[in-house]
Amino acid sequence: MRVMLLKDVYNLGRAGDIKRVADGYGRNFLIPQGLATLATVGAMKQSTHIREIAAEQREVLNQELGSVAEKLEGLELVFPVKSGQTGRLYGSVTTGMIVESIHEKTGMDIERRQIDSQPIKLIGVHKANVRLTIDLIPELTIVVHPEGESPESVKSEETLAEEEPTEAFAELQEELDSLEEQAAREAADAKAEEEAQELLTRSADAKAEEVEASIEESEETTPAEENILEEQLQEGDGEMESLLAEPTDLTEEQEILADSAESNKEESGPDGLEETAHFEDNMLEEQLQEEGEEMESLPEEPAAEE
Does domain 69-149 fall under CATH 3.40.50.2300? My reply is no
d(CA 9, CA 131): 10
Backbone dihedral angles phi then psi of residue 14, each to the nearest 5 degrees: -100, 160
Exposed, middle or buried by CB within 10 Å (0-12, 13-18, 19+), for 57? middle
Cα–Cα distance measured from residue 7 to residue 53, given in angstroms and rounded to the nearest whole number? 10
DSSP, collapsed to helix, strand or coil, labels residue 156 as helix
Per-residue pLDDT of the chain (306 residues; tens, 9 = 90+): 999 999 888 889 999 999 999 999 999 999 999 999 999 998 888 989 999 999 998 899 889 888 889 989 989 999 999 988 888 888 899 999 999 999 998 888 888 988 988 899 998 999 999 998 888 999 999 999 988 888 887 777 665 445 445 556 667 777 777 788 788 888 888 888 888 788 888 877 777 777 777 776 665 556 666 677 677 777 766 666 665 555 545 455 556 655 665 665 555 555 555 555 566 667 777 777 776 666 666 555 554 443
Buried-state track 160-188, b at ≥16 Cβ within 10 A, e below 16: eeeeeeeeeeeeeeeeeeeeeeeeeeeee
Tell me the CATH number for domain 2-45. 3.40.5.10
Q: Where in the chain is the domain with CATH 3.40.5.10?
A: 2-45
AA identity, residue 189: D
- Residue type (1 letter), 133: T
**Using CB atoms within 10 A of its CB, is residue 102 exposed (0-12), middle (13-18) or buried (19+)?**
buried
The segment(s) of the chain belonging to CATH 3.10.430.100 are 69-149
pLDDT digits (tens, 9 = 90+) for 157-207: 665 445 445 556 667 777 777 788 788 888 888 888 888 788 888 877 777
DSSP per residue over 181-246, as a string? Answer: HHHHHHHHHHHHHHHHHHHHHHHHHHHHHHHHHHHHHHHSPPHHHHHHHHHHHHHHHHHHHHHHHS
